[in-house]
Amino acid sequence: MSTRSNSSDSSAAQRRRALTISIGVALGVGAIITAFPFIWMISTSFKPQRESTDFPPTILPGQPTFEWYVRLFTELDFGRYLANTVVVVLIGFVGLLLMAMAGYAFAKFDFRGRRWMFFLVLATMMIPIQVTMIPTYLILNGMKLTNTLVGIALPTLVSGFSIFLFRQFMSTIPTEMLEAARLDGAGEFRTFWQIVLPMSGPILAVQVVLTFISGWNSFLWPLIIASDQKLYTLSVGLALLNQQLAVNPGLQMAAASVMVVPILIVFIVFQRYVIQGFALSGLK
Amino acid sequence: MRNRLTPYLFVSPAMLLLVAFGIFPILVAAVISTTNMNISAFANWNNVKFIGIDNYTKLFADPAFWQALGNTGLFAVFGVPAIVVLSLGVALLLNRSQGVFFRSLRAFYFIPAITAIVAISLVWGYLYNTQFGLLNYLLSLVGIEQVQWLSDPVLAKFSVALVAVWRGTGLNIIIFLAALQGVPKEYLEAASLDGAGEWKKTFSIVIPLLRFAIFFVSVTTTISWLQFFDEPFVLTDGGPLGATTSASIFLYKEGFRLNQFGYASAGSIVLFAIIAIITLVQLRLRRADDEY
Amino acid sequence: MKRTTQAALAVVAAAAMTLGMSACSTPAATEASGPLTVWVMGDSGANFEKLVAGSGIQVDVVAIPWDSIDEKLTTAVASGSGPDILEIGLSKLRTFADAGALLPLDGLLADYPGLATANFPAGVAGTATAVGGKIVSVPWTSDTRVLFTRTDILAANGIDSPPATWEEVRADAKILAARGDGQYGYYIPQWDAPLPIEMTWSNGGDVIDSKGNVNFDNAAFQSAVDTYTSLYADGSVPTNSDFDQQAGFISGVAPMLVSGPYLGKGVTDAAPELDGKWQASPLPSGDGGSVSLFAGSNLGVWFNTDQPKQSLKLLEYVDQPAQQLAWYGLTGQLPTTSAALVDSTLNSDPNVKVYTDQLATAKVLPLVSNWDGAVGTALLDALNSIVLTGADRKTALDGFFQATKTLTIN
């Protein structure tokens, strides 16, 4: 940088600074508006029943109460739903590995059928979910997977979108590195495990977050596949609270908060890597 | 030999799952769409008859289907630019500084993307409620009359779309922020030396470099608008009087409320075809764009 | 081309096999043992477990969210693998019986005197709710619609007692709506398809003709439409679809409305300080008296259960008057057995007395396949298009008559 300093430079720098600050203020306001429904949800979850249905509404609880959280975990079995949800998310990570393998093959191998297989991958992104519900259920039923957590996780285990992202990212891994590993006598799976995966950290972070979100919020399949309430996930538990007449916003909001906060933590932890992951996937 | 098999070993687990839960169902739907299958089929399989293209002719004569397609088109035409422009704008602003404040704001913008749809229906339902909702309360403070967010046929379209835009920007902002990291600093510094202002730099350097990201986000956003389902389903159930019934909602109701599986399958095939054609056109345009 | 045909055939064969296998299976000849799986609607299975704890029968209870019944039942029916016992709303009964999901009980009921038709009010048990001549369910809980009024607000506006006829409802609603901006006299839920039918019944008419076909084209229904549209024309009812009836009743914005016992329970829970300031009274009458809706739910046995006898034993257990009253205590859902409905403790609450009296003359909706989806939706669309968007009444109703005239209870 030049050390030369004159009046026009410093006034330009000041203007830049002022602009940055006003953008910061605008973004801050935008962030609060964007997150407002979320803030309101948390606030209502601490309101007693009467206050939550009062009009005009209060922004902050007048007499905060933990009663709804206590009820969720004592009377309503939310502890079990939470555990199931965690298992579904963990199974989702197996799917993550399968998608990484597929993305790797599409990126780094030339094989017969690659083109149309990749076309199928892209085509699955365009299929409306309502179409697949009944056939998918019949398949799972035929495989005797109904009423299992595996059956709940299976239909959404792999997604075309994620395979596509893996392929994009892995295309950027230098082929020479793979050749070197092969010359050293590493098997194909060892190459994948010890070279490709470690180099794919950022895209894995992206996928961890995406997988976490979809597993955590899964609603349809847990509902349909579980013929035992012991297998319900948080989303289904939350839907159970939605009675014919909504009478207890505090309880519902507490359940909704239990759902959102963990994802937020996962995102905050991974966000730096997530952005890197998309950046290096060639999305520029 | 080993080498020839390797890629197939890598691809096959994921492909098997995709075929089983993605491709196979659409083939089943294609077959069912040529039958009169309804719920009585499950009592006796002989109740199902092959009826050729009758479902399709009936579909194209059904005003409710056209209304749903029209709504979907309207949602896509306004929704896609809204999400793309908004996410790009916020990402550009967020990228202005790498300071702690700007970084911590990102999480706020990401919150809507991670909120479960069931939670969204609760919170927005309370916000939008005509008599007891917060939005109308705030408007009443500045003397504006009650607004029927979800009951007025025109406004309801806007209201459900607003929630979808709110929910759809988070992930795209992240994608754009990522793409912005790929913009070489040298270009911008060189432009500054040439005396280019902020606007000029943004429009003539940054945005052109983000072409692929913009394209990618447009394609995925278009697909998700064409499959638009969650928000109207939980907020309005497609009402009032069908004003927010998207194609997916129409299919869902025919299939799961009326149990007309043959008819609903025909509709899904049509929707799938529309999505595929639009996506292919987008891809083709992109290719043409690249050639110049 | 040939390969495509083959692929298509393979798909059909696979689909047919999966479906066919399930459709062919019938109840096992020998009774199996083990816990019974029971599907109930609502937020938790814990109450049902409590209820049957004394029966000596093991149960696994699964609560199904109200909003997701369609997906859950359709997929279960498609695969043939369901529970042993399930709770079915009366409006869904026909659909699931048509799908073959419910075990016909005619030959079996004789062994279970507690489930005899005579134990229940006329019109809800036995052949009255049979589908295709077969009894596929037994009554379980009941629900009806009555008029709720905020007596304090009515009195403050010079109305001494709740309106007894629809004419009076209209007049009183007009007075109450004149209280000011944003205040209404009455509330019509835009999703409540049974309301115009209750009005038709109360006018002495019906929506099913003598041959069993759906037929709305009659004077009693036209008069019901008059009532319905006039409340809107007077500006007495809110026009937004997301009006919250409980909040509207508690705040007094809508001091009169027709709803079910759950509203009474909700108001008691959310606003105990209103105690004594509101009451339930019979559904307003038309020319033909006050005929309300018999809603509620029945219990059915899944068609291929391996424990039909044990299942019926459980149904008989929960349909005992004592258990029916215990269920009311746990959930606030009213009983269906006649003996429980006249119980003096139950009727000591004046509001409950109104419900049980109303149930005595209430009728079930016609058992037309897909009543909710086909008739209910079309009816609401027609009426709401008249009152909300100013559609021509004759055109809208003619279209509705046309769309529903092929439906039948036969």
Put simply, whether the predicted model's pTM sits higher than 0.90 gets the answer no
CB within 8 Å of chain C, chain A residues 74-103: 75-77
Helix C2-24 vs helix A129-142: crossing angle, to nearest 10? 60
C410: in domain = no
* Range of weakest confidence among B6-10, B78-82, C278-282: B6-10
CA C106, chain centre distance (Å): 24
Give me the residue from B42, B129, B153 closest to C242, CB to CB: B129
C70 in A contact zone (CB under 8 Å): no
Tens of pLDDT, residues B247-267:
999 988 888 778 888 999 999
Looking at the structure, tell me whether residues C263 and C315 fall in a common domain.
Answer: no
Best mean pLDDT range from C16-25, C96-105, C317-326 = C317-326
The two structure tokens encoding residue C73: 């039942």
Give me the residue from C23, C71, C381 closest to B256, CB to CB: C71
Percentages helix, strand, coil for chain A (3-state, rounded to 5) are: 75, 0, 25
Inter-chain residue contact A30 with B109, CB threshold 8 Å: yes
Distance, in angstroms, between B56 CA and closest chain C CA? 19
Inter-chain residue contact C247 with A53, CB threshold 8 Å: yes
B149 in C contact zone (CB under 8 Å): yes
C409: in domain = no
Looking at the structure, tell me whether residues C391 and C346 fall in a common domain.
Answer: no
pLDDT at C8: 42
Tens of pLDDT, residues B110-123:
888 888 777 788 78
Mutation choice for C interface testing from B47, B49, B259, B260 by most C CBs within 10 A: B259
pLDDT at A8: 59
C-beta separation of B153 from B243 below 8 A:
yes
A130 in C contact zone (CB under 8 Å): no
Strands laid side by side in the C85-89 sheet:
C59-64, C36-41, C85-89, C297-301, C138-141
Write a three-state SS string for C98-120: HCCCECCCCCCHHHCHHHCHHHC
Q: Where are the domains of chain A?
A: 2-45, 67-280
Measured between beta carbons, the chain C residues lying within 8 angstroms of B236 are 241
Inter-chain residue contact A227 with C37, CB threshold 8 Å: yes
Inter-chain residue contact B241 with C182, CB threshold 8 Å: no
Looking at the structure, tell me whether residues C305 and C395 fall in a common domain.
Answer: no
Please tell me which residue, A131 or A198, carries the higher pLDDT value: A198
Looking at the structure, tell me whether residues C101 and C222 fall in a common domain.
Answer: no
Q: Is the CA virtual torsion B158, B159, B164, B170 positive or negative?
A: positive
C-beta separation of C386 from C396 below 8 A:
yes
Inter-chain residue contact B43 with C100, CB threshold 8 Å: yes
Give me the residue from A50, A53, A244 closest to C66, CB to CB: A244
C197: in domain = yes
C209 in B contact zone (CB under 8 Å): no
**Scanning the structure block, which residue is given the tokens 């508006």?**
A33
Looking at the structure, tell me whether residues C357 and C284 fall in a common domain.
Answer: no
Please check the confidence at residue A6 and state whether its pLDDT lies above 60: no
C259: in domain = yes
pLDDT at A281: 62
Give me the residue from C100, C243, C374 closest to B44, CB to CB: C100
Inter-chain residue contact B108 with A31, CB threshold 8 Å: yes
Please check the confidence at residue C6 and state whether its pLDDT lies above 50: no
Best mean pLDDT range from B226-230, B277-281, C22-26, C219-223 = C219-223
Chains that contact B by 3+ CB pairs under 8 Å?
A, C
Residues facing residue A72 across a β-bridge: none
Tens of pLDDT, residues C46-101:
889 999 998 889 998 888 887 777 778 887 887 777 899 999 888 888 888 888 88
Inter-chain residue contact B42 with C243, CB threshold 8 Å: no
Give me the residue from B25, B132, B212 closest to A131, CB to CB: B25
Name the average pLDDT for chain A.
82
Residue A263, Cβ neighbours under 10 Å: how many? Answer: 20
Task: Find the helix or strand (DSSP H, E) in which A121 lies.
Answer: helix A114-124
CATH architecture of A67-280: Orthogonal Bundle (1.10)
Chains that contact C by 3+ CB pairs under 8 Å?
A, B
pLDDT at C310: 93
What is the rounded CA–CA span in Å between residue B84 and residue B87?
A: 5
Looking at the structure, tell me whether residues C102 and C152 fall in a common domain.
Answer: no
Tens of pLDDT, residues C253-306:
999 999 998 888 888 888 888 999 999 999 999 998 999 999 888 999 999 899
Write a three-state SS string for B247-262: HHHHHHHHHHHCCCHH
What is the rounded CA–CA span in Å between residue C67 and residue B257?
A: 11
CB within 8 Å of chain C, chain A residues 231-250: 236, 239-247
Confidence band of B187 (pLDDT split at 50, 70, 90): confident
Looking at the structure, tell me whether residues C200 and C224 fall in a common domain.
Answer: yes
User: What count of Cα atoms within 13 Å lies in the side-chain half-sphere of residue A256?
Assistant: 32
Side chain identity at residue B98, one-letter code: Q
C-beta separation of B267 from B65 below 8 A:
yes
Domain, as residue range, for C168: 146-292+370-404
Chains that contact A by 3+ CB pairs under 8 Å?
B, C
Looking at the structure, tell me whether residues C50 and C104 fall in a common domain.
Answer: yes
Buried b (16+ CB within 10 A) or exposed e, B203-212: eebbeeebeb
Looking at the structure, tell me whether residues C15 and C134 fall in a common domain.
Answer: yes
CA angle, C293 then C296 then C299, to 5°:
140
Tens of pLDDT, residues C331-356:
888 999 999 999 999 999 999 999 99
Inter-chain residue contact C95 with B44, CB threshold 8 Å: no
The C-alpha R_g of chain A, in whole angstroms, comes to 25
Looking at the structure, tell me whether residues C87 and C29 fall in a common domain.
Answer: yes
What is the rounded CA–CA span in Å between residue B219 and residue C232?
A: 45
Measured between beta carbons, the chain B residues lying within 8 angstroms of A53 are 132
pLDDT at A68: 87
Tens of pLDDT, residues A160-190:
888 988 888 888 888 888 888 888 888 888 8
Helix B153-181 vs helix B100-114: crossing angle, to nearest 10? 130
Q: Please tell me what DSSP assigns to residue B46.
A: G
Please tell me which residue, C359 or A268, carries the higher pLDDT value: C359
C157: in domain = yes
Please tell me which residue, C70 or B291, carries the higher pLDDT value: C70
Looking at the structure, tell me whether residues C192 and C62 fall in a common domain.
Answer: no
Inter-chain residue contact A228 with C269, CB threshold 8 Å: no
Looking at the structure, tell me whether residues C87 and C157 fall in a common domain.
Answer: no
Inter-chain residue contact B40 with C100, CB threshold 8 Å: yes
Strands laid side by side in the C146-149 sheet:
C256-259, C146-149, C279-281
Give me the residue from C241, C242, C373 closest to B257, CB to CB: C373
Measured between beta carbons, the chain B residues lying within 8 angstroms of A268 are 107
SS3 C43: coil
**Scanning the structure block, which residue is given the tokens 């996410």?**
B87
Measured between beta carbons, the chain B residues lying within 8 angstroms of A26 are 93
Specify the number of domains making up chain C.
2
Confidence band of C19 (pLDDT split at 50, 70, 90): very low
Inter-chain residue contact B131 with C15, CB threshold 8 Å: no
* CATH, residue C244: 3.40.190.10
C303: in domain = yes
